[in-house]
Structure 1
Amino acid sequence: MQLVVVQGRQELGAAAAKVIAEQVRANPRSVLGIATGASPLPVYAQLAADSGTDYRQTTCFALDEYVGLAAPHPQSYGQFVRDHVSGPLGIAPERIHVPDGLAEDLEDACALFEQEIEAAGGVDLQVLGIGRNGHLAFNEPGSAVGSRTRVVPLSADTRRANARFFPNPSSVPTHAVTQGLGTILAARHLLLLASGPEKASAVERAVNGSVTTDCPASVIQLHPHVTVIADEQAADSLGRVEAMVPTLH
């Protein structure tokens, strides 16, 4: 595992964008796993500002989607990917895959999503955030290590954390479709991002704690190729720095 500690969100964005850009420059047809939410926003902004990388042949798979929401709903993750990834990077809609939260048969839709990842050759680089309770994507504490894409209930803590994006707390969906921990671990390279003091405990448990379903993000310790990029506040409990990544050029 490579641990990178940077000063703040802007530096985190530049460091993570460099990792992603290098992947795509090495293989223009890379398959990227796309995280949503606030953590990766500075990363995608940096990628959009980088004119030296061509993403038009890249394929993207989103980690998750709310059940009951779909683009153009402003809080759907499908719309998030369009606004912050595919649009700014010039990736065609047919190369963007987002779990279907409106499917009549959600179980079949989850199976189809897994098949699409397999048909694409698997994910080369998976971008991840981490929840305050250690959730990874929407895999809440108790999720099985081998779990695959499925429908999950959202914990009260996760719904409270996401309420800031909705008109009121009651508007936050109660369920989501998420890639499972087993799906995530099948990616060839994991890139975990964390910023802010509220993530410090979860980051410490994920990096230095026991591998346990109580902290789903701890499963990254089972993966052979992991890069963790955290700002100083999120890394406050770690007490070690392995490497620094220069800004994106």
Structure 2
Amino acid sequence: MFPILRTSRDILLDILFPPLCLLCEATLSQTEKRALLCTRCVSSVSLHATLFCSQCRARLPDNRKTCHKDTRYILAAATNYHESRIQELIWQLKYAKRIAAAVPLAHLVARYCTALSLDLTSYSFFPMPLHPSRERARGFNQSELIAELVSENLHLPFIRNAFQRTRKTLPQAELPRYEHRLQNVAECFSVRKPDLVRDKNIIVLDDVSTSGATMTEAVGGLKSAGAKRVIGLVVAKT
């Protein structure tokens, strides 16, 4: 009885308030509702097909380190930030505070990860932490929202608050020079739950990577706490 009622309710809601694509506002089909994007908008976003060197940003065709082998992590970036639809979704999420925008972003990241055909069964998802004051001001951590959805899609553990920002920093976009960005985030992360880090394989998820300074500092803190292998996963890189 209850499933029938629930289905009837959903049908009625779809009739009264048809679900719309977050980008073009086209009415979504039943199969499109999960991503909150229409098929046309999804297909218009070009996804990458490889991992990247975290130092020189070169593509890694075999999905393993081939150039700078001493780097602490491999960079995984679903797409480029110059994609206008990605910029729009990230703006909706971070600045318009439209939390639903996390859904299509997570959908695109999960599609990218699946297409890479990596064995991620031993990995856990860690969201890139915000400083508490910034998270309070925004009302949420956008990386946490996306990471939890991607982890559900890929059936991997999601770990909240394993590490934290201990110092408020300037927005990296306000600092044009790479060395200033490194100084800005130096020693701003600390591990809160070492047992969840030590000897573990971790995917750190952030929304955007520009210079890579924030991810590099975050991974350095996790590695110092004994993390085994780390993938720095972002929705988009510049």
TM-score by length of 1: 0.31
In terms of Rg, which structure is larger? 2
TM-score by length of 2: 0.32
> Relative contact order (C-alpha < 8 Å, sep 6+): which is higher?
1
